[in-house]
Amino acid sequence: LPNEYQQALPILKKIEKAGHEAYFVGGSVRDVLLHHPIHDVDIATSAFPAEIKEIFSKTIDVGIEHGTVLVLEKTGQYEITTFRTESTYQDFRRPDHVEFVRSLKEDLKRRDFTINAFALKEDGEIVDLFDGLNDLNQHLLRAVGNPHERFFEDALRMMRGLRFVGQLGFDLEKETFTAIKKNHSLLEKISVERINVEFVKLLLGNYRKKGIVNFIKSQCFEYCPGLSGKEKELQAFAGLSEKVIKYESQAWVLLIDQLAIKEADIRAFLKSWKCSNEMIKIVQAVFYGLQVRKAQPFTADLLYQLGERQAVLVEELLWFYNKSPNIENVRENYQQLPIHSLKELAVNGNDLIVYFDKKAGKWIKELLTYLENAVIHRQVANQKEELLQLAKKHLD
Ligand code: ATP
Ligand code: MG
């Protein structure tokens, strides 16, 4: 068992000692079997939430209506979820209420794909009720049970399937893929926020190209914001260098570039995807920087404007335009800028007020910007006396 599981073992033991069942479940079991690093350890139990809260002294109700209690132990925090079924589905979305059950089998049955439906016992034994090990070995994503029914219950599972193609490089089993293709329009019922999460994971996956190809073939793109009718553009996106995309902002920039979305329309596109304002700002800056950088080396202006982090994000994207990035060079050039922000300018607004003996006003901002530019372009040293003299000359 990996370290993360070793550390969590006392939790399983404690629950079992109290007379209940407890297992590791979900993506971490899949990842352990694939020898991939694991992120979150999910635990499923026959104990009801109230029973879990009696067993552990420090707990937080993070999603008690779904049966999830967060247990705080010295070794870490663990989400413990009571076995449940999700029998009443409405509108092709997640169920509005869940039913707690005592049977592991019922809990595993509600999971999306066979490789996500393992349970791992405390002694290392794997519970594999749906032949998931076989699918894992064959690199197949197979819906648990009847795929049509499962995608009808929750259409997001189709996007999750495509996302796992992008992350794992597995194939969608034939019937599962057919069911996605047939039901792709059900995605319309799913909130964009949930689709966004899966789509971004697909874009950042090691097998992005394969994920996008399946995304196109299944027609799921037709029900994603701003992608309807964009098969050709998505094909071009799939055809980019197979290098892994590191960051979400870079993925959006590359996609937006392939879709030939104009700079002025980036905001609306990302808003339709429910991206945060923070993400939108970064994507806009990196997109702009990339357009300039594609044509010429970084200028001091552009480096200063972008900042080191965003400049590096831009430089890394050159890979996808058949140019070799030189990250070290970008960092060095950035470090060598005379100043990196207005704060580093050797005069501030107050200095100007005192020196010119003039009331505060918008002239200060203008003058500071003038001096800032002069310093960045090395027309003057970043020195108080010299800057004040230049300011005087400028105002005269
Ligand atoms: P990741 O490694 O990205 O966390 P994951 O498989 O763990 O992938 P989660 O969203 O963390 O994905 O979900 C944990 C588990 O819950 C899944 O492995 C699966 O068994 C189940 N699950 C999650 N979402 C669904 C869904 N929409 N329908 C059915 N089962 C789901
Ligand atoms: Mg997970």
Go through the domains of the chain in sequence order and give each one's CATH number.
Answer: 1-130 (3.30.460.10), 139-239 (1.10.110.30), 342-395 (1.10.246.80)
Q: In what order do the strands lie in the sheet with 59-63?
A: 59-63, 68-73, 76-82, 42-45, 22-25, 119-120, 126-127
Nearest to 204 by CA among 259, 142, 256, 252: 252
Which residues are CB-contacts of 299 (< 8 A; sequence separation ≥ 6)? none
Q: Which ligand is nearest to the CA of 163?
A: 1
CA of 370 to the centre of ligand 1 (A): 54
CA of 387 to the centre of ligand 2 (A): 56
Neighbouring CB atoms inside 10 A of 131's CB total: 12
| Residue nearest atom 27 in ligand 1 by C-alpha distance | 157
CA of 27 to the centre of ligand 2 (A): 5
* pLDDT (0 to 100) of residue 75: 84
Mutate to test the pocket of ligand 1, among 80, 111, 152, 176 (most ligand atoms within 8 A of CB): 111
Nearest to 259 by CA among 229, 285, 280: 229
Which residue has tokens 């960092």?
A: 331
CA of 42 to the centre of ligand 1 (A): 10
Which of ligand 1's atoms lies nearest the C-alpha of 94? 27
Question: For residues 191-211, b (16+ Cβ closer than 10 Å) or e, as one string?
Answer: ebebbbebbbbbbbbebbbbb
Mutate to test the pocket of ligand 1, among 81, 112, 141 (most ligand atoms within 8 A of CB): 112
How far are the Cα atoms of 149, 264, 341, 351 from residue 344, in angstroms, in the given order? 62, 32, 6, 14
pLDDT digits (tens, 9 = 90+) for 159-192: 999 999 999 999 999 999 999 999 999 999 999 9
* pLDDT (0 to 100) of residue 20: 97
Which of ligand 1's atoms lies nearest the C-alpha of 160? 27
Q: Which segments of the chain have a pLDDT < 50?
A: none
CA distance 203 to 201: 5
